[in-house]
Amino acid sequence: MDGANDSAVKGSCQCGGGCASAGNGKFLNETPMLDQLESGPWPSFVSGFKELAERTKKPMLRGVLDQLEYSYQTKMGYWKGGLVTVDGYGAGIITRYSMIKDKYPEAAEFHTMRIQPAPGLHYNTAMLRELCDTWEKYGSGIITLHGQTGDIMLQGIEQDKVQECFDELNQNGWDLGGAGAGMRTGVSCIGQGRCENACYDNLKLHLDALKHFSPQVHRPEWNYKLKFKFSGCPNDCTNAIMRSDLAVIGTWRDAIDIDHDEVKAWIAERGVDALVNNVINHCPTKAIMLKDGDIDISTRDCVRCMHCINAMSKALSPGKERGIALLMGGKNTLKVGVNMGSLIVPFMKMESDEDREAFLELIEEIIDWWDDAGLDHERIGETIERVGLKQFLDGVGIEYDINQISRPRDNPYFKAKY
């Protein structure tokens, strides 16, 4: 590092030239740039780091703050990857080694343990207390609930403490989440645990899928990562369609259930103008009509957007014939940009153990096809986009459906079989 950068961070711990904390009697060193992030009206992660460091007196936290201050000064990051595992597992630990450990030895290692949450994020206070106690015992004490992966992120532990920490967590009922080219940690909304719009038991299906694919979570073996998300209704509170390879969305096949007395009560309270302006005009397919002081919904035109049900929650509810729709291919940017999930199975019953077994068998077929047809480091949606939806549907034995057509044919010429 050049002299200008070294002088820029004068006052930060160099762990060789004396620690700033030794001179001012404080545990933490001076971090003027990080201090600026504590100003303004919004909560700051820096304040949380400092509070935890002062309370626990963990040198690791001081070292990370010092290195981050240096990164802000030099406008560079100084973490690199590696390999840290626990016995019998090939994934679940995200490694972070410092590239400037000689300068900041207290920040030499700051690995992250991904911990699988319960379906629907259901915890009791005893579980969370045990988790916090174990983590403060072995790690930094920093916890993220929950990361983009859906995991509980235990951030900051040294390699020689990882196995012992995992053993204690595992004894208390916790397990590592997914990482690498395998099944990632699934995510589900609260579903039928609380929500009246849930169209299937997404918590049960999530649990069954978690158990079924547990070996692939812990020992990656595929082309690339694969992620489930289970949303109980088309509101998609888990953001499954945008952020998962396999989006399992609760839906219904019959008409929206209308309580006409509640519709009239809603109109009496808010007025016809509110119904027209806030409900009918906002229907994306114009499926709702005002008729004799009541409403009529065209089931054929309804696309299950949930707007009318959300706006008139007492009067409208999902239909009686409920199940799931499977969409595939959602992902964020990496190689070929953002994809939203494509509809693969428009409707599938999900009420019995047999229904769930049939669903998992279908997913196995899909994964087998992707394992053969996919390229290394290629998400399943990218594979489908590359080879074509028709080839994928033929490969896994799914019948074509008109809902899978993205746009009408624009070539008037075709060759028909005699």
Cα–Cα distance list, 277 to 109, 260, 291, 391 (Å): 57, 19, 15, 44
Fold classification of 180-253+323-417 is Sulfite Reductase Hemoprotein; domain 1 (3.30.413)
Average pLDDT over residues 153-181: 95
Average pLDDT over residues 344-351: 96
Point out which residues pair with 226 in neighbouring strands.
183
**What pLDDT was estimated at residue 24?**
59
Share above pLDDT 90 across residues of the chain, in percent, rounded to a whole number: 81
Q: Do domains 180-253+323-417 and 257-317 have the same CATH topology?
A: no
The domain spans of the chain are 32-80, 180-253+323-417, 257-317
Fold classification of 257-317 is Alpha-Beta Plaits (3.30.70)
Predicted confidence (pLDDT) per residue in 223-275, tens digit? 999 999 999 999 999 999 999 999 999 999 999 999 999 999 999 999 999 99
Our CA dihedral for 44, 49, 51, 55, rounded to 10 degrees, sits at 170
**What pLDDT was estimated at residue 3?**
42
Band of pLDDT at residue 337, cut at 50, 70 and 90: confident
**Residues 148, 239 contacting (CB under 8 angstroms):** no
Predicted confidence (pLDDT) per residue in 22-71, tens digit? 445 789 999 999 999 999 899 999 999 999 999 999 999 999 999 999 99
Question: In 3D, which of 248, 238, 382, 269 has the Cα closest to residue 324?
Answer: 248
Q: Write out the two tokens for 199.
A: 């169209």
Is the pLDDT assigned to residue 12 strictly greater than 50? no
**What pLDDT was estimated at residue 19?**
53
18-27, 165-174, 225-234, 364-373: the lowest-pLDDT one: 18-27
Is the pLDDT assigned to residue 409 strictly greater than 70? yes
Average pLDDT over residues 372-392: 92
Query: pTM for the full model?
Result: 0.88
**What pLDDT was estimated at residue 413?**
80
Whole-angstrom distance between the N-terminal and C-terminal Cα of the chain? 75
